[in-house]
Structures are given as structure tokens and as C-alpha cells.
Amino acid sequence: MTTDTAPALGGRRAALPRLVSDYGVYAAVLVLLAYNAVFTPYFLDAGNLRTQLVQAAPIVIVALGMALVIGSEGIDLSVGSVMALAAAVIPLYLGFGMWPAVLMALLAGIAAGLFNGTLVAVVGLQPIVATLALLVAGRGLALVFAGGQLKQLHNPELLALGDGELAGVPVIVLAAAGLTLATAILVGRTTYGRQLVAVGGNRPAAVLAGLPVRRILITAYVLCGLFAAVAGVFATARLTASDPSAIGNLAELSAITAVVVGGTPLTGGRVRVLGTVAGAMLMQLVRATLIKHDLPDSAAQMAQAAIILVAVYVARERRTR
């Protein structure tokens, strides 16, 4: 039985949830900004805005990689541990200079992604289980590398990644912006990006169209691992220390939240790059707003829980068309 014509149903009735799901996150960011501009003293201060951006940047970077994986109908729980792994690798090679150390950290991220991707695409494990293993083991491995200790870092080049500026803009913010642009181009313009979305949107169709599904999936996890490693490097530079037990803690939750709130459906087939950035900014603003108004971290966590539920609930409405 073929019953066509579903689009007619979509019509006006579905328009509202769809709008909320697609643009709600931008509206929410604007509302929060407007609210703070009026009620929070010094909020629009350049210094404060800068702080907000710097704090959100690592999560933005991790969330971009996460968005790719979620777009492929997967999930990567290991990003926080991969951040820690990257942080732990840096001091091991810092003797050779900053670039070799950063390179090795990124390689660690790529290796982690390769591991995850192979388990998902070749062995055929569920993404949650496959990446759970590295979530558990990754941080342990990082602590083993680091000898379980926090290491102060003094390499000036590396530290410049954390507090340096280029034309008045913090390097880390520039990096996040650059990666956002790169991801947007990757997803929107390249062959790979479109294939990724096709695999997430309709796997059987992608197989029939002859797409190299395994390679596409593995690449998504590798990119996610790479992005997490980049975030780990920046987090380390900002902390001026390699602290694998703290860096990237619960980053997977923040990243998934940012992606989901940004309107990328967990069922795959869509990657919303700008939405993801807005999602990360929204969570950052919520936290900042609550803190500025002397509401504690606990309230921020509960607010985060509510926002996740609302975002997924609205997206679910749209899916049932």
C-alpha cells in the first residue's frame, strides 16, 4: 500500500511547532540578551560579552563535532574523555615545542574517533554502547598518561592560545568561529557533508545510491574526536595546566544539549550548524543570567534539564508528520 500525499497534512497545523523547533533557539537567545540588557547591570559591557564568548567557545567546538555524529543518526558519549586525553598528551610532547604537542593531542582525538567509528560502522554496535566504553576508559587512560597529576604548563606559545588575542578578539573565540564556518561549509557545500546527512536521513536509500556508508560514518566519528581534542587543547591552554581529571567533565552532556536545543533532531538526517552554536550560547547565557541574579548553579542545572525536555518535545511534535 502506498499512501502518498502526506505533505498536505503538514500545512498550517504543523507550522507553529516547526517554527519553534527551527528558530526557537535564536529567539530564546535574543530574548535572554534583551532581558539582560535591561535588567542586568553592565551586561552589554564589552568585557562581559567577551567572557561569555570565551566560556562558551570550547562547548561550541565540541558540539559542532557532536552535531555531525548526531546528524548521522549516532551519538558520541566519549567527547569529554577525549578532551581529557588531549589535555594529558600535551605535556608529554611539550618539550618538542608547542606544535608537536598540539599535533599529538589532535592525533589522540583522531585515534579515539577511529576507534568509536570502527565499533559503530564495522562491528555494528549501537553508538551509545560503542562510545560508552571510551567514555569510561578514556579519562582513565588520560590520567595514566598524566600520572594522575595536574601539570602546570609554562610554554608561552601554548598559553597564548588560552589568553591571547588577535585584533582584539580572543584566539579561542576566533578558533570557534573558524571551526563553525568550516563545519558549515563541510555540511552545506561539500560532497561529504551531503552524504553524511543522506546517510542519517535514509540509510537504505544511501546504500542503494552506492554511498560508502561505512567510510562516511567513521569519518563523522573521527571529526567528532578531532573537534573534542581541539576543545581539549584550548581548555588546557586556558587553565594553564593539564588537568585530565577536570577537563571535559560532563562535556558530552553540554554538547548533546547544545545540539539538541539547536534543533538538530536525534533521529538524524539534519545538521544545524548555526543552531548548534546558538544552542551552546543559549545554555551559556542561561547560566550567566542566573549567576548574575545570584541564582546558584543548581538552578542552572535544573533550567538546563527543562530546556532539553522542551526542545526534544517540540522536535518530536514536528517529527510525527
Partner 1 sequence: MSDPATILDARGVTKRFPGVLALDHVDLTLTPGRVHALVGENGAGKSTLIKILSGAYHADSGEIVHAGRPVSFARPLDARAAGISTIYQEVNLIPLMSVARNLFLGREPRRLGLIDLRRMNREAAAVLDRYGVHVDVTRPLGTIGLGARQMVALARAVAEDARLLIMDEPTSSLEPREVETLFTVVESLTAKGMAVLYVSHRLEELYRLCETVTVLRDGRVVHTGPLAELDRLTLVAHMLGRELDQVRQEGTTRFGEHRDHTGNPPVMEARGLTKRHVLRGVGLTVRAGEVTGLGGLLGAGRSETAKAVVGALPLDSGTVTVGGRRLRRLSPATAIRAGMALLPEDRKAEGIVPDLSVRENILLAALPRLSRFGFVSRRRQERIVATFTKRLRIKAASPEQKVGELSGGNQQKVLLARWLCLNPRLLLLDEPTRGIDVGAKAEVQALIDELAADGLAVVLISSDLEELVEGADRIVVLRAGAVVAELDGDDVGEHAVMAALAEAEPREEDDRDD
Partner 2 sequence: MITDSVAVPTTVRPGRATRAERLASLSQRHGALTMLALALIAASVTFESFATAENLAGIAIQSSFVAVIALGMTFVIIGGGIDLSVGAVFALAGVLAAFGSRWGPVTALLLPLGAGALIGLVQGVLIARTGMAPFIVTLAGLLAARGLMLALTTEGAETPLVPRGSGFLGLGRGVFLGLGVPVWIAIVLCGLGAVLLRRTRYGQFLFAVGGNEDAAGLMGVPVTRVKVVTYALSGLLAALAGMLNAARLGSGVTILGVGMELDVIAAVVIGGTLLVGGAGAVGGTVCGVLILGVIQNVVNQIGTLTSSVQSVVSGAFLVVAVVAQTYLSRAGRAR
Strand partners, 166: 169
Three cell numbers, residue 125: 554496535
The continuous run of DSSP H or E covering 152 comes out as strand 151-152
- Taking the complex as a whole, the smallest distance from the CB of residue 200 to partner 1 amounts, in Å, to 9
Three cell numbers, residue 118: 570502527
| Of 54-62, 99-107, 130-138, 269-277: span binding partner 2 (CB under 8 A) | 130-138
Measured CA to CA, the distance from residue 303 to residue 124 in angstroms comes to 36
197 lines the binding site for partner 1 (CB under 8 A): yes
Helix (H, G, I), strand (E, B) or coil at 169: strand
- Taking the complex as a whole, the smallest distance from the CB of residue 270 to partner 1 amounts, in Å, to 5
Contact 255, 233 (CB under 8 A): no
Contact 286, 254 (CB under 8 A): no
Considering only 104, 107, 114, 132, the residue that binds partner 2 (CB under 8 A) is 132
| Of 107-115, 202-210, 276-284, 290-298: span binding partner 1 (CB under 8 A) | 202-210
| Of 139-147, 150-158, 220-228, 231-239: span binding partner 2 (CB under 8 A) | 139-147
Considering only 51, 202, 245, 249, the residue that binds partner 1 (CB under 8 A) is 202
Residues 246-275 that bind partner 2 (CB under 8 A): 249-250, 253, 256-257, 260, 266
DSSP collapsed to 3 states, 73-133: CCCCCCHHHHHHHHHHHHHHHHHHCHHHHHHHHHHHHHHHHHHHHHHHHHHCCCHHHHHHH
- Taking the complex as a whole, the smallest distance from the CB of residue 189 to partner 1 amounts, in Å, to 6
Size, binding site for partner 1 by CB under 8 A = 31
124 lines the binding site for partner 1 (CB under 8 A): no
Contact 62, 179 (CB under 8 A): no
In the complex, which residues of this chain contact partner 2 (CB under 8 A)? 75, 119, 123-126, 128-130, 132-144, 147-148, 249-250, 253, 256-257, 260, 266, 296-302, 304-306, 308-309, 312-313, 316
